[in-house]
Amino acid sequence: MVNIRLFDEYRNIPREANYLIYSMIFPNLAYGMFYMDLPYLLTQVRGISTGFMGALITIMGVSMVASSIPFGILADRFSRRKILIFGNIVASVTISVFALTDNQFILLAAALLEGVSEAAFSSSASALLADKATDQKRNSVFSFSGFTGNLAFGFGGLIIPAVVVFEMLGYNVQESHSILYVIVVALSLVSTILILKVTEPGEPHVGEKMTLRNIYPKKSGGVLGKYLLTSVIIAFGAGLIVPLMSVWFGYRFGISDTLSGPILGASSLLIGVATLASPLIARRLGTIKAIVVTQAASTLFMFFTPLAPEFVSASLVYSLRSLLMNMASPLQQSMIMGMVPEGERGIASGISSAMWKLPNSLSTFIGAWLLGLGLLSAPFYIASVFYLVSIAIFWFFFRNMKMPEEMLSVVRN
């Protein structure tokens, strides 16, 4: 009965929403490989210092933050579909650059462009996906997107050991990484074809003059501000260690990316499967309570990860942390898009992405610095404190809030 109800949540998803979800599979594959491998690639393969690696990740974040609001405005007033296509193309090109050169000037430029591409993608994808969903199916659409996205992200980690195959063919380690990155990037570019099958929604703000007064969403500004506060806090905590796990495994257990990459990839596969249960949990508990419960449980595993005595147990504990935390992610995306009017979804998505990425990137530099000092447990403990503070504030702000689909359910009953 539970299984039947779970899959009932995914019936009758709008066709164009499915097009968007499938179009993000290859880009998520590329992002999975990139983010799981980048710290190791730069420091162990390219010989770049840990500090400069952390600085590059910070630059990517700052660039993304600076670009998110402008792209959010363009998405609302110009074309969400075209902004999404632009973001996918630029991301695909810049990701390959990191595996093709160790020139620090070029890497700095690539980091800036990667942030721009991520801003374009994040400010348009969620808004466009919400446009193609309905209130009744919004949680299901975002959860199915999370399912496919996490599976693809996970496979991105699982394919990292393919560099060994290229090495067996006579290529050195740097060339092998370059070949793998270029192949995955080519697949990401192909996904643009599916995005072209999605029609552009109505544009209620076209022709409206853009001023500083109408940049911030007027109708949803209050609730968005509360959401952003909780997002900033938890993002800062996550940035301390989550983007650095491949390096942490290397420092803590002497593990290379050919092993840590697949482990992190397998973790994303589990996350993807678990995400399928998100709409059912939200239906049972309510969206707000479902987010709080899964995030709180995840925080416990975050705290215990550095206490694991060996690689296998540490990987298992961390995977459970990731699974629980990311079960809440599609519900949060659905929640904020459900609270924001259609005409403000692009700018709201851009602001939300920016206010996540900025603290996340800044704290990544701090986390890399702590790891460089040999303080391998500190980032986990500090992150756990930030998680708990964010969860408590989120519950205080939104505990009495009902989503549109929940109100519809009450009316029907």
> Model confidence over 31-79: pLDDT tens digits?
888 887 887 788 878 888 877 887 888 788 788 888 887 887 787 777 8
Structure tokens at 222: 């209050």
* 365-380 CB burial, b ≥16 within 10 A, e <16: bbbbebbeeeeeebbb
Instruction: Please provide the distance, in angstroms rounded to a whole number, between the alpha carbons at the two ends of the chain.
Output: 21
Is residue 186 assigned to a domain?
yes
Structural domain contains residue 286: yes
| Domain interval for residue 403 | 14-198+216-412
pLDDT bucket at 216, cuts 50 / 70 / 90: low
pLDDT at residue 411, as a whole number: 41
Q: State residue 413's pLDDT score.
A: 41
Domain membership of residue 22 (yes or no) is yes
Share of the chain above pLDDT 90, in %: 17
| Cα 361 to Cα 277: distance, rounded to the nearest angstrom | 30
Provide mean pLDDT across the span 254-282. Answer: 73
171 three-state secondary structure: coil
Among 89-98, 209-218, 373-382, 399-408, name the most confident range. Answer: 373-382
109-156 per-position pLDDT tens digit = 999 999 899 888 877 888 888 788 766 777 788 888 878 887 888 788
Backbone angles phi, psi at 290, to 5 degrees: -65, -40
Q: Report how far residue 407's alpha carbon sits from residue 413's, in angstroms, rounded to the nearest whole number.
A: 10
Q: What share of the chain is helix, strand, coil (3-state, %, to 5)?
A: 80, 0, 20
Residue 352's pLDDT is what? 79
* The pLDDT value given to residue 409: 47
Instruction: Evaluate whether residue 5 is within a structural domain.
Output: no
Q: Which residue has the tokens 């309510």?
A: 286
Look at residue 4 and tell me if it is in a domain: no
Alpha-carbon gap, residue 157 to 265, rounded angstroms = 4
From the list 208, 12, 225, 120, the residue with the least C-alpha distance to 128 is 120
Q: How many domains does one find in the chain?
A: 1
Name the phi and psi angles at 135, rounded to 5. Answer: -60, -40
Q: Is residue 349 part of a domain?
A: yes
Residue 204 lies in a domain: no
> Can you give the CATH number for the domain in which 57 is found?
1.20.1250.20
Grade residue 206 by pLDDT with cuts at 50, 70 and 90: very low
pLDDT at position 42: 84
- Residue 410's pLDDT is 42
pLDDT value for 393: 95
Query: What distance in Å separates the CA atoms of residue 413 and residue 277, rounded to the nearest whole number?
Result: 23
* pLDDT over 80 at 269, yes or no: no
Report the range of poorest mean pLDDT among 3-7, 314-318, 368-372, 394-398.
Answer: 3-7
In-domain check, residue 151: yes
Q: What is the pTM of this model?
A: 0.69
User: Residue 167: enclosing H or E segment and its boundaries?
Assistant: helix 162-168
